[in-house]
Amino acid sequence: MAARECSIANALEVIGERWTLLALREVLLGNRRFDQIVRQTGASRDILATRLRKLVEVGLLERRQYEMHPPRYEYHPTDAGKSLHTVLLTLMEWGDQHMTQGPPPTVMEHSCGEALHPKVVCAHCDKPVELGDSRVVRLGGRPVER
């Protein structure tokens, strides 16, 4: 039996490994050089190299040379990579609330000057999205019968 087609599963094929999300976190925080990313994530160099190569291949990061001899590169987020910023912020918020003992290890400040606590809102009506206030109309590529 084939698994249901799902955009979450498709996304996890690319970003579902631990070191992948942590590498993206670092690049989005401005740590763009390989050694910086290794230091901040704790990933082994070979695993990190593999993860970064995959992120470049799928178009979430681009690799830019910043030194000729020896050749050295930085990683920069593409538009697709930048769009994961809010996903990482909401994952961090969830971790702060449900997985972290004590105060959050990282605190972000929004441009309004207050601590950032992201929430998901409907793009049409700007109301918060909560469990139970939406319904599935297509599932696995097929319309849902009502």
Average pLDDT of the chain is: 94
Phi-psi region of 62 (alpha: psi -120 to 50; beta: other; left: phi over 0): beta
**pLDDT on residue 6:** 87
What pLDDT digit, counting tens, does each position of 14-25 carry?
Answer: 999 989 999 999
Determine what percent of the chain is predicted with pLDDT higher than 70. 99
Q: Which pair of structure tokens corresponds to residue 49? A: 């190299």
Q: Per the domain annotation, does 2 fall within a domain?
A: no
Residues with Cβ within 8 Å of 83's Cβ and at least 6 positions away in sequence, in order, are none
Q: Which pair of structure tokens corresponds to residue 110? A: 């929004």
CA distance 73 to 65: 4
Q: Of 75, 12, 66, whose CA–CA distance to 48 is shortest?
A: 75
Q: Per the domain annotation, does 38 fall within a domain?
A: yes
CA distance 94 to 117: 10
- With residue 72 as reference, give the H or E element that holds it: strand 72-77
**pLDDT on residue 144:** 84
Q: Per the domain annotation, does 1 fall within a domain?
A: no
What pLDDT digit, counting tens, does each position of 122-146 carry?
Answer: 999 999 999 999 999 988 888 887 7
CATH classification of the domain holding 26? 1.10.10.10
Q: Per the domain annotation, does 56 fall within a domain?
A: yes
